[in-house]
Structure 1
Amino acid sequence: MPQYTEHASHSWTPDSVRLITSPSVAARSALMYVQEVGYFWTHPPYFTERQHLPSYLLLYTVSGEGQLEYGGQTYSLQPHSLFFIDCMAHQHYRTAEHNHWEFAWVHFYGWASKHYYELYAQQGDPRLQLLQQSPLLGQIRALIDIHENKTVHTELLASKLLTELTTELILSAHVRDSDSDAMPSYIADAVREMERRYSERLRMDDLARSLAVSKYHFTREFKKHIGMSPNDYLIYLRIVKAKELLQYTAQSIAAIADEIGIDNVSHFINLFKAREGLTPFAFRKKWRTL
Protein backbone atom coordinates (compact mmCIF):
# COMPACT_ATOMS: atom_id res chain seq x y z
CA MET A 1 0.00 0.00 0.00
CA PRO A 2 1.33 3.52 -0.80
CA GLN A 3 2.63 5.45 2.18
CA TYR A 4 0.16 7.63 4.07
CA THR A 5 1.07 11.32 4.19
CA GLU A 6 -0.64 14.21 5.99
CA HIS A 7 0.07 17.90 6.64
CA ALA A 8 -2.28 20.00 8.73
CA SER A 9 -2.81 23.15 10.75
CA HIS A 10 -5.09 22.47 13.72
CA SER A 11 -6.59 25.94 14.03
CA TRP A 12 -9.82 25.00 15.76
CA THR A 13 -11.42 26.36 18.92
CA PRO A 14 -11.04 24.68 22.34
CA ASP A 15 -14.72 23.70 22.41
CA SER A 16 -14.40 21.76 19.14
CA VAL A 17 -15.00 18.01 19.38
CA ARG A 18 -12.78 15.27 17.96
CA LEU A 19 -13.40 11.64 18.90
CA ILE A 20 -11.07 8.85 17.79
CA THR A 21 -12.36 5.28 17.99
CA SER A 22 -10.81 1.81 18.05
CA PRO A 23 -13.28 -0.51 16.31
CA SER A 24 -13.51 -4.12 17.42
CA VAL A 25 -12.50 -7.06 15.23
CA ALA A 26 -16.20 -7.84 14.70
CA ALA A 27 -16.93 -4.29 13.54
CA ARG A 28 -13.98 -4.31 11.15
CA SER A 29 -15.09 -7.56 9.58
CA ALA A 30 -18.86 -7.06 9.36
CA LEU A 31 -19.95 -3.43 9.90
CA MET A 32 -19.46 0.07 8.64
CA TYR A 33 -17.62 1.70 11.52
CA VAL A 34 -16.53 5.15 12.64
CA GLN A 35 -12.81 5.90 12.68
CA GLU A 36 -13.08 9.52 13.84
CA VAL A 37 -16.02 11.88 14.23
CA GLY A 38 -16.26 15.49 15.32
CA TYR A 39 -17.54 19.04 15.14
CA PHE A 40 -15.07 21.90 14.49
CA TRP A 41 -15.12 25.67 14.67
CA THR A 42 -12.07 26.73 12.67
CA HIS A 43 -10.32 29.86 11.44
CA PRO A 44 -7.39 30.47 9.06
CA PRO A 45 -4.90 28.92 8.66
CA TYR A 46 -6.80 25.68 9.39
CA PHE A 47 -6.19 23.03 6.69
CA THR A 48 -5.74 19.30 6.18
CA GLU A 49 -3.84 17.82 3.24
CA ARG A 50 -3.44 14.07 2.95
CA GLN A 51 -3.50 11.01 0.72
CA HIS A 52 -3.36 7.19 0.94
CA LEU A 53 -5.58 6.97 4.03
CA PRO A 54 -7.95 3.94 3.98
CA SER A 55 -11.03 5.94 4.93
CA TYR A 56 -14.07 7.74 3.57
CA LEU A 57 -14.86 11.26 4.76
CA LEU A 58 -18.22 13.01 5.01
CA LEU A 59 -18.01 16.69 5.93
CA TYR A 60 -21.01 19.00 6.37
CA THR A 61 -20.54 22.80 6.39
CA VAL A 62 -22.73 24.45 9.02
CA SER A 63 -21.58 28.06 8.64
CA GLY A 64 -18.76 30.12 7.19
CA GLU A 65 -16.85 28.88 4.17
CA GLY A 66 -14.33 26.20 3.38
CA GLN A 67 -12.53 25.10 0.24
CA LEU A 68 -11.81 21.61 -1.05
CA GLU A 69 -9.22 20.55 -3.61
CA TYR A 70 -9.98 17.05 -4.84
CA GLY A 71 -9.67 15.23 -8.14
CA GLY A 72 -7.93 18.18 -9.78
CA GLN A 73 -10.82 20.57 -8.98
CA THR A 74 -11.36 23.27 -6.35
CA TYR A 75 -14.76 23.53 -4.67
CA SER A 76 -16.26 26.24 -2.47
CA LEU A 77 -17.95 24.80 0.63
CA GLN A 78 -20.93 26.91 1.61
CA PRO A 79 -23.45 26.41 4.45
CA HIS A 80 -25.62 23.28 4.05
CA SER A 81 -23.17 21.71 1.59
CA LEU A 82 -21.57 18.34 2.16
CA PHE A 83 -18.70 16.53 0.50
CA PHE A 84 -18.05 12.79 0.38
CA ILE A 85 -14.55 11.69 -0.62
CA ASP A 86 -12.24 8.68 -0.72
CA CYS A 87 -9.23 9.57 1.42
CA MET A 88 -6.91 7.31 -0.56
CA ALA A 89 -6.97 10.10 -3.17
CA HIS A 90 -5.15 13.38 -2.60
CA GLN A 91 -7.28 15.96 -0.81
CA HIS A 92 -6.71 19.42 0.62
CA TYR A 93 -9.46 21.21 2.52
CA ARG A 94 -9.16 24.45 4.44
CA THR A 95 -10.94 27.43 5.95
CA ALA A 96 -11.48 30.15 3.34
CA GLU A 97 -9.27 33.21 3.75
CA HIS A 98 -10.70 35.95 6.02
CA ASN A 99 -13.52 33.69 7.15
CA HIS A 100 -14.45 31.06 9.71
CA TRP A 101 -15.57 27.53 8.96
CA GLU A 102 -17.92 25.52 11.17
CA PHE A 103 -18.44 21.91 10.15
CA ALA A 104 -19.38 18.42 11.33
CA TRP A 105 -17.52 15.42 9.96
CA VAL A 106 -17.02 11.67 10.15
CA HIS A 107 -14.28 9.37 8.91
CA PHE A 108 -15.59 5.83 8.42
CA TYR A 109 -14.68 2.55 6.79
CA GLY A 110 -15.57 -1.13 6.53
CA TRP A 111 -18.09 -3.50 4.99
CA ALA A 112 -20.22 -1.71 2.34
CA SER A 113 -18.58 1.73 2.60
CA LYS A 114 -16.83 1.36 -0.77
CA HIS A 115 -20.12 0.43 -2.44
CA TYR A 116 -21.89 3.49 -1.00
CA TYR A 117 -19.04 5.75 -2.04
CA GLU A 118 -19.00 4.40 -5.60
CA LEU A 119 -22.77 4.91 -5.91
CA TYR A 120 -22.38 8.51 -4.80
CA ALA A 121 -19.29 9.14 -6.95
CA GLN A 122 -21.25 8.36 -10.12
CA GLN A 123 -22.47 11.95 -10.09
CA GLY A 124 -18.87 13.12 -10.67
CA ASP A 125 -18.92 15.87 -8.03
CA PRO A 126 -17.83 15.22 -4.43
CA ARG A 127 -19.91 18.14 -3.18
CA LEU A 128 -23.67 18.28 -2.70
CA GLN A 129 -25.79 21.26 -1.72
CA LEU A 130 -28.47 20.10 0.69
CA LEU A 131 -31.80 21.49 1.81
CA GLN A 132 -31.82 23.03 5.28
CA GLN A 133 -34.23 20.33 6.48
CA SER A 134 -31.87 17.52 5.45
CA PRO A 135 -31.34 15.03 8.32
CA LEU A 136 -27.63 14.58 7.55
CA LEU A 137 -26.29 17.06 10.10
CA GLY A 138 -28.48 15.52 12.79
CA GLN A 139 -27.18 12.07 11.89
CA ILE A 140 -23.54 13.16 12.25
CA ARG A 141 -24.38 14.77 15.60
CA ALA A 142 -26.02 11.51 16.67
CA LEU A 143 -22.79 9.68 15.80
CA ILE A 144 -20.89 12.10 18.02
CA ASP A 145 -23.36 11.59 20.84
CA ILE A 146 -23.25 7.78 20.84
CA HIS A 147 -19.44 7.82 20.80
CA GLU A 148 -19.33 10.30 23.67
CA ASN A 149 -21.62 7.98 25.63
CA LYS A 150 -20.31 4.55 24.72
CA THR A 151 -22.27 1.39 25.52
CA VAL A 152 -22.08 -2.21 24.40
CA HIS A 153 -24.36 -1.25 21.49
CA THR A 154 -22.31 1.72 20.21
CA GLU A 155 -20.82 -0.04 17.17
CA LEU A 156 -24.17 -1.46 16.04
CA LEU A 157 -25.88 1.91 16.46
CA ALA A 158 -23.04 3.66 14.62
CA SER A 159 -23.26 1.19 11.73
CA LYS A 160 -27.02 1.75 11.54
CA LEU A 161 -26.55 5.52 11.48
CA LEU A 162 -23.80 5.34 8.86
CA THR A 163 -26.06 3.23 6.65
CA GLU A 164 -28.92 5.71 7.05
CA LEU A 165 -26.60 8.68 6.48
CA THR A 166 -24.96 7.34 3.31
CA THR A 167 -28.30 6.11 1.94
CA GLU A 168 -29.86 9.53 2.53
CA LEU A 169 -26.87 11.18 0.86
CA ILE A 170 -27.07 9.00 -2.24
CA LEU A 171 -30.82 9.54 -2.53
CA SER A 172 -30.32 13.29 -2.15
CA ALA A 173 -27.69 13.24 -4.88
CA HIS A 174 -29.91 11.29 -7.25
CA VAL A 175 -33.01 13.44 -6.83
CA ARG A 176 -31.50 16.92 -6.74
CA ASP A 177 -32.44 17.46 -10.39
CA SER A 178 -36.02 16.58 -9.52
CA ASP A 179 -37.53 18.31 -12.56
CA SER A 180 -35.73 15.88 -14.87
CA ASP A 181 -35.83 12.83 -12.61
CA ALA A 182 -39.47 11.82 -12.85
CA MET A 183 -39.62 8.43 -14.56
CA PRO A 184 -41.14 8.77 -18.05
CA SER A 185 -44.34 6.82 -18.54
CA TYR A 186 -42.80 4.89 -21.44
CA ILE A 187 -40.23 3.36 -19.05
CA ALA A 188 -43.03 2.03 -16.84
CA ASP A 189 -44.74 0.75 -20.01
CA ALA A 190 -41.52 -0.96 -21.07
CA VAL A 191 -41.14 -2.66 -17.68
CA ARG A 192 -44.70 -4.01 -17.85
CA GLU A 193 -44.17 -5.21 -21.42
CA MET A 194 -40.92 -6.98 -20.49
CA GLU A 195 -42.53 -8.61 -17.46
CA ARG A 196 -45.32 -9.90 -19.70
CA ARG A 197 -43.13 -11.05 -22.60
CA TYR A 198 -39.82 -12.02 -20.97
CA SER A 199 -39.94 -15.54 -22.46
CA GLU A 200 -40.21 -14.25 -26.04
CA ARG A 201 -37.46 -13.18 -28.43
CA LEU A 202 -37.81 -9.57 -27.35
CA ARG A 203 -35.57 -7.16 -29.27
CA MET A 204 -34.81 -3.81 -27.65
CA ASP A 205 -34.91 -2.07 -31.05
CA ASP A 206 -38.48 -3.24 -31.56
CA LEU A 207 -39.49 -2.36 -28.01
CA ALA A 208 -38.05 1.16 -28.29
CA ARG A 209 -39.77 1.64 -31.65
CA SER A 210 -43.11 0.57 -30.20
CA LEU A 211 -42.65 3.20 -27.49
CA ALA A 212 -41.83 5.89 -30.09
CA VAL A 213 -38.33 6.62 -28.75
CA SER A 214 -34.87 5.97 -30.11
CA LYS A 215 -33.04 2.88 -28.85
CA TYR A 216 -30.20 5.04 -27.48
CA HIS A 217 -32.54 7.31 -25.53
CA PHE A 218 -34.60 4.37 -24.30
CA THR A 219 -31.52 2.49 -23.08
CA ARG A 220 -30.11 5.55 -21.32
CA GLU A 221 -33.37 6.46 -19.57
CA PHE A 222 -34.13 2.85 -18.65
CA LYS A 223 -30.77 2.43 -16.90
CA LYS A 224 -31.14 5.80 -15.19
CA HIS A 225 -34.52 4.92 -13.65
CA ILE A 226 -34.36 1.12 -13.26
CA GLY A 227 -30.68 0.80 -12.39
CA MET A 228 -29.73 -1.64 -15.16
CA SER A 229 -29.87 -1.81 -18.93
CA PRO A 230 -32.99 -3.18 -20.66
CA ASN A 231 -31.11 -6.34 -21.68
CA ASP A 232 -29.86 -6.88 -18.13
CA TYR A 233 -33.38 -6.39 -16.81
CA LEU A 234 -34.71 -8.97 -19.27
CA ILE A 235 -32.06 -11.44 -18.06
CA TYR A 236 -32.98 -10.58 -14.46
CA LEU A 237 -36.64 -11.45 -15.14
CA ARG A 238 -35.66 -14.73 -16.75
CA ILE A 239 -33.34 -15.71 -13.90
CA VAL A 240 -36.01 -14.91 -11.30
CA LYS A 241 -38.50 -17.14 -13.13
CA ALA A 242 -35.86 -19.87 -13.50
CA LYS A 243 -35.23 -19.84 -9.74
CA GLU A 244 -38.94 -20.31 -9.12
CA LEU A 245 -39.10 -23.27 -11.52
CA LEU A 246 -35.95 -24.84 -10.08
CA GLN A 247 -37.32 -24.62 -6.55
CA TYR A 248 -40.91 -25.64 -7.08
CA THR A 249 -41.04 -27.90 -10.15
CA ALA A 250 -39.28 -31.05 -11.36
CA GLN A 251 -38.70 -29.69 -14.89
CA SER A 252 -35.35 -30.42 -16.45
CA ILE A 253 -32.73 -27.68 -16.77
CA ALA A 254 -33.20 -27.71 -20.55
CA ALA A 255 -36.97 -27.37 -20.23
CA ILE A 256 -36.62 -24.45 -17.84
CA ALA A 257 -34.19 -22.72 -20.18
CA ASP A 258 -36.67 -23.09 -23.02
CA GLU A 259 -39.59 -21.88 -20.89
CA ILE A 260 -37.84 -18.64 -19.93
CA GLY A 261 -36.83 -17.88 -23.52
CA ILE A 262 -33.21 -19.13 -23.68
CA ASP A 263 -32.86 -21.76 -26.39
CA ASN A 264 -29.24 -22.70 -25.59
CA VAL A 265 -29.00 -24.59 -22.30
CA SER A 266 -25.25 -23.99 -21.95
CA HIS A 267 -25.84 -20.26 -22.31
CA PHE A 268 -28.57 -20.45 -19.66
CA ILE A 269 -26.26 -22.30 -17.25
CA ASN A 270 -23.51 -19.70 -17.75
CA LEU A 271 -25.92 -16.78 -17.27
CA PHE A 272 -27.38 -18.34 -14.14
CA LYS A 273 -23.99 -19.08 -12.60
CA ALA A 274 -22.68 -15.59 -13.37
CA ARG A 275 -25.61 -14.02 -11.49
CA GLU A 276 -26.28 -16.52 -8.71
CA GLY A 277 -22.79 -17.88 -8.07
CA LEU A 278 -23.75 -21.51 -8.70
CA THR A 279 -25.19 -23.62 -11.51
CA PRO A 280 -28.94 -24.24 -11.86
CA PHE A 281 -28.39 -27.86 -10.76
CA ALA A 282 -26.44 -26.77 -7.65
CA PHE A 283 -29.10 -24.14 -6.88
CA ARG A 284 -31.87 -26.75 -7.07
CA LYS A 285 -29.89 -29.19 -4.93
CA LYS A 286 -29.23 -26.52 -2.30
CA TRP A 287 -32.91 -25.60 -2.01
CA ARG A 288 -34.04 -29.22 -1.99
CA THR A 289 -31.78 -29.96 1.01
CA LEU A 290 -32.78 -26.95 3.14
Structure 2
Amino acid sequence: MPQRYMENASHSWTNNSVRLILSPSMEAKSAFMYVQEVGYFWTHPPYFTERQHLPSYLVVYTVSGEGKLDYGGHSFTLGPHSLFFIDCMAHQHYRATGSEHWEFAWVHFYGGASRHYYDSYAKKGDPLLQLQRDSPVLGYMQCLIDLHEQKTVHTELYGAKVLTDLATELVISAHVQASDAKAVPAYLADMIREMERRCSETIRLDELARSFALSKYHLIREFKKHIGMSPNEYLIYLRIVRAKELLKYTAKPVAAIAEEVGVDNVSHFINLFKAREGLTPLAFRKKWTTASG
Protein backbone atom coordinates (compact mmCIF):
# COMPACT_ATOMS: atom_id res chain seq x y z
CA MET A 1 0.00 0.00 0.00
CA PRO A 2 1.47 3.42 -0.97
CA GLN A 3 2.63 5.58 1.91
CA ARG A 4 0.45 8.65 2.30
CA TYR A 5 2.01 12.05 1.67
CA MET A 6 1.96 14.42 4.64
CA GLU A 7 2.74 18.16 4.73
CA ASN A 8 2.21 21.00 7.18
CA ALA A 9 3.58 24.47 6.50
CA SER A 10 3.49 28.16 7.32
CA HIS A 11 4.19 30.18 4.16
CA SER A 12 5.78 33.20 5.83
CA TRP A 13 7.92 34.53 3.01
CA THR A 14 8.26 37.97 1.43
CA ASN A 15 6.50 39.13 -1.74
CA ASN A 16 9.78 39.27 -3.69
CA SER A 17 10.48 35.60 -2.98
CA VAL A 18 10.51 33.25 -6.00
CA ARG A 19 8.73 29.88 -6.17
CA LEU A 20 8.48 27.98 -9.46
CA ILE A 21 6.30 24.85 -9.58
CA LEU A 22 7.08 22.85 -12.71
CA SER A 23 5.50 20.07 -14.75
CA PRO A 24 8.29 17.98 -16.33
CA SER A 25 7.64 16.28 -19.66
CA MET A 26 7.38 12.51 -19.97
CA GLU A 27 10.74 12.52 -21.77
CA ALA A 28 12.40 14.29 -18.83
CA LYS A 29 10.80 11.93 -16.32
CA SER A 30 11.97 8.88 -18.24
CA ALA A 31 15.52 10.00 -19.04
CA PHE A 32 16.81 12.97 -17.02
CA MET A 33 17.22 14.37 -13.58
CA TYR A 34 14.53 17.03 -13.55
CA VAL A 35 13.43 19.97 -11.42
CA GLN A 36 10.10 19.64 -9.62
CA GLU A 37 10.18 22.99 -7.82
CA VAL A 38 12.85 25.64 -7.41
CA GLY A 39 13.02 28.99 -5.70
CA TYR A 40 14.63 31.66 -3.57
CA PHE A 41 12.97 32.69 -0.29
CA TRP A 42 13.26 35.43 2.29
CA THR A 43 11.39 33.93 5.24
CA HIS A 44 10.70 34.91 8.83
CA PRO A 45 9.10 33.15 11.83
CA PRO A 46 6.73 31.37 11.94
CA TYR A 47 7.87 30.00 8.55
CA PHE A 48 8.26 26.20 8.59
CA THR A 49 7.74 23.14 6.42
CA GLU A 50 7.09 19.65 7.72
CA ARG A 51 6.54 16.76 5.34
CA GLN A 52 7.04 13.05 4.71
CA HIS A 53 6.60 10.49 1.90
CA LEU A 54 7.32 12.86 -0.98
CA PRO A 55 9.25 11.24 -3.90
CA SER A 56 11.79 14.05 -4.19
CA TYR A 57 15.28 15.14 -3.19
CA LEU A 58 15.70 18.57 -1.68
CA VAL A 59 18.71 20.89 -1.48
CA VAL A 60 18.41 24.05 0.65
CA TYR A 61 21.31 26.55 0.70
CA THR A 62 21.29 29.24 3.40
CA VAL A 63 22.44 32.64 2.12
CA SER A 64 21.85 34.65 5.31
CA GLY A 65 20.04 34.44 8.62
CA GLU A 66 19.44 31.19 10.42
CA GLY A 67 17.19 28.16 10.19
CA LYS A 68 16.80 24.78 11.85
CA LEU A 69 16.38 21.32 10.34
CA ASP A 70 15.06 18.24 12.16
CA TYR A 71 15.86 15.12 10.16
CA GLY A 72 16.80 11.55 10.94
CA GLY A 73 16.34 12.02 14.67
CA HIS A 74 18.79 14.95 14.85
CA SER A 75 18.56 18.74 14.83
CA PHE A 76 20.85 20.92 12.69
CA THR A 77 21.52 24.67 12.76
CA LEU A 78 21.49 26.23 9.29
CA GLY A 79 23.80 29.25 9.01
CA PRO A 80 25.23 31.20 6.05
CA HIS A 81 26.92 29.06 3.35
CA SER A 82 25.54 25.83 4.81
CA LEU A 83 23.16 23.52 3.00
CA PHE A 84 21.26 20.34 3.53
CA PHE A 85 20.54 17.58 1.01
CA ILE A 86 17.74 15.21 2.01
CA ASP A 87 15.43 12.48 0.77
CA CYS A 88 11.89 13.82 1.21
CA MET A 89 10.44 10.35 1.70
CA ALA A 90 11.85 10.62 5.24
CA HIS A 91 10.25 12.91 7.82
CA GLN A 92 11.67 16.44 7.78
CA HIS A 93 10.91 19.70 9.57
CA TYR A 94 12.77 22.92 8.78
CA ARG A 95 12.01 26.42 9.95
CA ALA A 96 13.18 30.03 10.29
CA THR A 97 14.73 30.99 13.61
CA GLY A 98 16.06 34.23 15.03
CA SER A 99 14.80 37.77 14.49
CA GLU A 100 16.09 38.36 10.94
CA HIS A 101 15.08 36.86 7.61
CA TRP A 102 16.21 33.33 6.83
CA GLU A 103 17.29 33.74 3.20
CA PHE A 104 17.80 30.57 1.18
CA ALA A 105 17.78 29.04 -2.29
CA TRP A 106 16.21 25.63 -2.77
CA VAL A 107 15.43 22.99 -5.36
CA HIS A 108 13.32 19.84 -5.37
CA PHE A 109 14.44 17.37 -8.02
CA TYR A 110 14.01 13.73 -8.99
CA GLY A 111 14.61 11.15 -11.72
CA GLY A 112 17.65 9.93 -13.64
CA ALA A 113 20.68 9.31 -11.45
CA SER A 114 19.37 11.39 -8.52
CA ARG A 115 19.11 8.35 -6.23
CA HIS A 116 22.75 7.43 -6.87
CA TYR A 117 23.94 10.96 -6.16
CA TYR A 118 21.91 11.13 -2.96
CA ASP A 119 23.12 7.73 -1.75
CA SER A 120 26.72 8.73 -2.38
CA TYR A 121 26.25 12.04 -0.54
CA ALA A 122 24.45 10.34 2.37
CA LYS A 123 27.51 8.19 3.11
CA LYS A 124 28.95 11.21 4.96
CA GLY A 125 26.48 10.42 7.74
CA ASP A 126 24.37 13.58 8.03
CA PRO A 127 22.59 15.94 5.62
CA LEU A 128 24.44 19.14 6.56
CA LEU A 129 27.34 20.58 4.58
CA GLN A 130 29.31 23.76 5.28
CA LEU A 131 30.64 25.27 2.05
CA GLN A 132 33.34 27.80 1.25
CA ARG A 133 32.24 31.26 0.11
CA ASP A 134 33.57 30.57 -3.40
CA SER A 135 31.58 27.33 -3.83
CA PRO A 136 29.67 27.24 -7.16
CA VAL A 137 26.60 25.64 -5.53
CA LEU A 138 24.53 28.83 -5.12
CA GLY A 139 25.35 29.79 -8.72
CA TYR A 140 24.00 26.45 -9.95
CA MET A 141 20.78 26.95 -8.01
CA GLN A 142 20.32 30.49 -9.32
CA CYS A 143 20.97 29.17 -12.83
CA LEU A 144 18.13 26.65 -12.38
CA ILE A 145 15.79 29.48 -11.41
CA ASP A 146 16.82 31.55 -14.43
CA LEU A 147 16.44 28.58 -16.79
CA HIS A 148 12.92 27.79 -15.63
CA GLU A 149 11.73 31.40 -15.49
CA GLN A 150 12.44 31.71 -19.22
CA LYS A 151 11.45 28.25 -20.46
CA THR A 152 12.49 27.15 -23.96
CA VAL A 153 12.53 23.84 -25.84
CA HIS A 154 15.98 23.17 -24.34
CA THR A 155 15.20 24.07 -20.71
CA GLU A 156 14.83 20.51 -19.43
CA LEU A 157 18.05 19.36 -21.08
CA TYR A 158 20.02 22.32 -19.73
CA GLY A 159 18.33 21.83 -16.37
CA ALA A 160 19.48 18.21 -16.27
CA LYS A 161 23.04 19.35 -16.98
CA VAL A 162 22.99 21.95 -14.20
CA LEU A 163 21.42 19.46 -11.76
CA THR A 164 24.19 16.99 -12.58
CA ASP A 165 26.81 19.69 -11.95
CA LEU A 166 25.10 20.60 -8.67
CA ALA A 167 24.79 17.02 -7.42
CA THR A 168 28.38 16.22 -8.43
CA GLU A 169 29.67 19.27 -6.54
CA LEU A 170 27.72 18.24 -3.44
CA VAL A 171 29.07 14.68 -3.49
CA ILE A 172 32.66 15.83 -4.03
CA SER A 173 32.39 18.46 -1.27
CA ALA A 174 30.84 15.92 1.11
CA HIS A 175 33.56 13.36 0.50
CA VAL A 176 36.38 15.87 0.90
CA GLN A 177 34.95 17.09 4.20
CA ALA A 178 34.11 13.59 5.43
CA SER A 179 37.69 12.47 4.85
CA ASP A 180 38.85 15.39 7.01
CA ALA A 181 41.76 15.86 4.67
CA LYS A 182 42.91 18.83 2.64
CA ALA A 183 45.75 16.78 1.15
CA VAL A 184 46.97 13.21 1.15
CA PRO A 185 49.70 12.83 3.81
CA ALA A 186 53.23 12.74 2.41
CA TYR A 187 53.89 9.16 3.51
CA LEU A 188 50.77 7.96 1.65
CA ALA A 189 51.76 9.87 -1.47
CA ASP A 190 55.17 8.15 -1.31
CA MET A 191 53.50 4.80 -0.79
CA ILE A 192 51.23 5.31 -3.80
CA ARG A 193 54.22 6.14 -6.00
CA GLU A 194 55.92 2.97 -4.73
CA MET A 195 52.84 0.89 -5.55
CA GLU A 196 52.57 2.44 -9.01
CA ARG A 197 56.23 1.63 -9.68
CA ARG A 198 55.93 -1.96 -8.45
CA CYS A 199 52.32 -2.80 -9.33
CA SER A 200 53.36 -5.81 -11.45
CA GLU A 201 55.25 -7.33 -8.52
CA THR A 202 53.94 -9.26 -5.53
CA ILE A 203 53.41 -6.62 -2.85
CA ARG A 204 52.68 -7.92 0.63
CA LEU A 205 50.76 -5.60 2.91
CA ASP A 206 52.86 -6.48 5.97
CA GLU A 207 56.07 -5.61 4.14
CA LEU A 208 54.59 -2.39 2.73
CA ALA A 209 53.46 -1.25 6.17
CA ARG A 210 56.80 -2.14 7.73
CA SER A 211 58.76 -0.23 5.09
CA PHE A 212 56.84 2.91 6.07
CA ALA A 213 57.06 2.20 9.82
CA LEU A 214 53.30 1.62 10.16
CA SER A 215 51.13 -1.12 11.53
CA LYS A 216 49.13 -3.01 8.90
CA TYR A 217 45.82 -1.99 10.47
CA HIS A 218 46.75 1.68 10.71
CA LEU A 219 47.85 1.59 7.07
CA ILE A 220 44.55 0.06 5.91
CA ARG A 221 42.53 2.59 7.91
CA GLU A 222 44.47 5.65 6.71
CA PHE A 223 44.68 4.45 3.11
CA LYS A 224 40.93 3.93 2.93
CA LYS A 225 40.26 7.26 4.66
CA HIS A 226 42.31 9.29 2.19
CA ILE A 227 42.21 7.24 -1.02
CA GLY A 228 38.73 5.74 -0.73
CA MET A 229 39.80 2.11 -1.06
CA SER A 230 42.08 -0.40 0.63
CA PRO A 231 45.73 -0.83 -0.48
CA ASN A 232 44.83 -4.18 -2.06
CA GLU A 233 41.90 -2.65 -3.97
CA TYR A 234 44.17 0.15 -5.18
CA LEU A 235 46.77 -2.36 -6.37
CA ILE A 236 44.08 -4.20 -8.33
CA TYR A 237 42.94 -0.86 -9.78
CA LEU A 238 46.49 -0.13 -10.98
CA ARG A 239 46.75 -3.56 -12.57
CA ILE A 240 43.41 -3.24 -14.35
CA VAL A 241 44.36 0.20 -15.71
CA ARG A 242 47.64 -1.19 -17.04
CA ALA A 243 45.86 -4.24 -18.50
CA LYS A 244 43.39 -2.01 -20.35
CA GLU A 245 46.29 -0.12 -21.91
CA LEU A 246 47.91 -3.36 -23.08
CA LEU A 247 44.62 -4.76 -24.41
CA LYS A 248 43.93 -1.59 -26.39
CA TYR A 249 47.39 -0.88 -27.80
CA THR A 250 49.14 -4.27 -28.11
CA ALA A 251 48.29 -7.68 -29.54
CA LYS A 252 49.68 -9.58 -26.53
CA PRO A 253 47.67 -12.63 -25.45
CA VAL A 254 45.52 -12.31 -22.32
CA ALA A 255 47.72 -14.77 -20.42
CA ALA A 256 50.81 -12.68 -21.16
CA ILE A 257 49.04 -9.50 -20.08
CA ALA A 258 47.90 -11.14 -16.85
CA GLU A 259 51.49 -12.09 -16.06
CA GLU A 260 52.81 -8.64 -17.03
CA VAL A 261 50.44 -6.85 -14.65
CA GLY A 262 51.28 -9.18 -11.76
CA VAL A 263 48.42 -11.72 -11.75
CA ASP A 264 49.82 -15.25 -12.02
CA ASN A 265 46.54 -17.06 -12.65
CA VAL A 266 44.90 -16.08 -15.95
CA SER A 267 41.44 -17.25 -14.82
CA HIS A 268 41.71 -15.07 -11.72
CA PHE A 269 42.81 -12.14 -13.90
CA ILE A 270 39.79 -12.60 -16.20
CA ASN A 271 37.44 -12.66 -13.20
CA LEU A 272 39.04 -9.54 -11.68
CA PHE A 273 38.81 -7.70 -14.99
CA LYS A 274 35.19 -8.65 -15.67
CA ALA A 275 34.09 -7.74 -12.13
CA ARG A 276 35.44 -4.21 -12.59
CA GLU A 277 34.84 -3.54 -16.29
CA GLY A 278 31.72 -5.60 -16.97
CA LEU A 279 33.50 -7.33 -19.88
CA THR A 280 36.08 -10.07 -20.27
CA PRO A 281 39.52 -8.89 -21.44
CA LEU A 282 38.91 -10.26 -24.94
CA ALA A 283 35.48 -8.60 -25.18
CA PHE A 284 37.06 -5.33 -24.01
CA ARG A 285 39.76 -5.62 -26.70
CA LYS A 286 37.19 -6.41 -29.40
CA LYS A 287 35.05 -3.44 -28.37
CA TRP A 288 37.97 -1.03 -28.64
CA THR A 289 39.29 -2.58 -31.86
CA THR A 290 35.84 -2.22 -33.45
CA ALA A 291 35.44 1.36 -32.18
CA SER A 292 38.83 2.44 -33.53
CA GLY A 293 38.51 0.53 -36.78
Q: How many Å apart are 1:98 and its aligned residue?
A: 5.6
Residue 38 of structure 1, CA deviation: 0.6
Q: Deviations 1:126-164 (Å, cap 9, x if unpaired)?
A: 112233343322321221111101122222322232233
Structure 1 residues 118 and 287, CA gap change in structure 2 (3 angstroms): same
Q: Secondary structure at 2:139's aligned position in 1?
A: helix
Amino acid at match of 1:212: A
- Pairing 1:25–2:26 present: yes
CA contact (8 A) 2:8 2:51 kept: yes
- Is 1:141 aligned to residue 142 of structure 2? yes
The verdict on how the C-alpha distance between 1:178 and 1:284 changes in structure 2, with shifts beyond 3 A counting, is closer
Could you say if the C-alpha distance between residues 248 and 65 of structure 1 is closer, same or farther in structure 2, counting changes exceeding 3 Å?
closer
**Cα offset, 1:18, TM superposition:** 0.9
**Displacement of 1:171:** 3.7
RMSD: 2.3
1:280 is matched with 281
For residues 225-262 of structure 1, the C-alpha deviation after alignment (integer angstroms, 9 at most, x for no partner) is: 32322111111111122222223333332222222211
| 1:178-257 → structure 2 map (5 Å cutoff) | 180-257=181-258
The alignment covers a number of residue pairs equal to: 290
Q: How much has 1:177 moved relative to structure 2?
A: 8.1
- Residue type of the alignment partner of 1:93: Y
Question: Cα–Cα, structure 1 residues 190 and 76, in superposed 2: closer, same or farther, change >3 Å?
Answer: same
C-alpha change, 1:55 and 1:90, in structure 2 (3 Å) is same
Residue by residue over 1:46-96, the C-alpha shift from the partner in whole angstroms, topping out at 9 and shown as x without a partner, is 222222222211101223321111111011212222111111221111222
The structural deviation recorded for 1:9 is 2.4
Cα distance between partner residues in 1 of 2:3 and 2:180: 43
Tell me, yes or no, if structure 1 residue 80 matches structure 2 residue 81. yes
Distance 1:176 1:250 in 2: 44
Q: Which amino acid counterpart does residue 58 of structure 1 have in structure 2?
A: V
Matched AA of 2:196: E
* Amino acid corresponding to residue 231 of structure 1 in structure 2: N
**3-state secondary structure, aligned to 1:105:** strand
TM-score (norm 1): 0.89
Partner amino acid, structure 1, of 2:151: K
Partner residue in 2 for 1:173: 174
Q: How does 1:49-128 map onto structure 2 within 5 Å?
A: 49-96=50-97, 100-128=101-129
- Equivalent residues of 2:181, 2:226 under 8 A apart: no
Deviation at 1:37, TM superposition (A): 0.2
TM-score of the aligned structures, taking structure 2 as reference length:
0.89
Deviation of residue 105 (structure 1)?
A: 0.4
Which segment drifts farther, 129-138 or 51-60?
A: 129-138
Query: Over residues 12-44 of structure 1, what are the superposed CA-to-partner deviations in whole Å (9 max), with x where a residue is unaligned?
Result: 233321111222333334332211101122233
Contact 2:124/2:178 (8 A) holds in 1:
no
Aligned to 1:155: 156
Report the CA distance shift for 1:253/1:145 in structure 2 as closer, same or farther (over 3 A). same
Task: Give distance in 2, aligned partners of 1:146 and 1:153.
Answer: 9
Answer whether contact 2:34 2:156 (CA < 8 A) is retained: yes
Return 5+ residue gaps in structure 1 as ranges. Answer: none
Greater shift, 177-186 or 133-142, is seen at 177-186
Q: For 2:125, give the aligned amino acid.
A: G
- What SS does structure 1 have at the residue aligned with 2:202? coil
The one-letter code matched in structure 1 to 2:267 is: S
SS at match of 1:181: coil
Residue identity over aligned pairs, in percent, reads 72
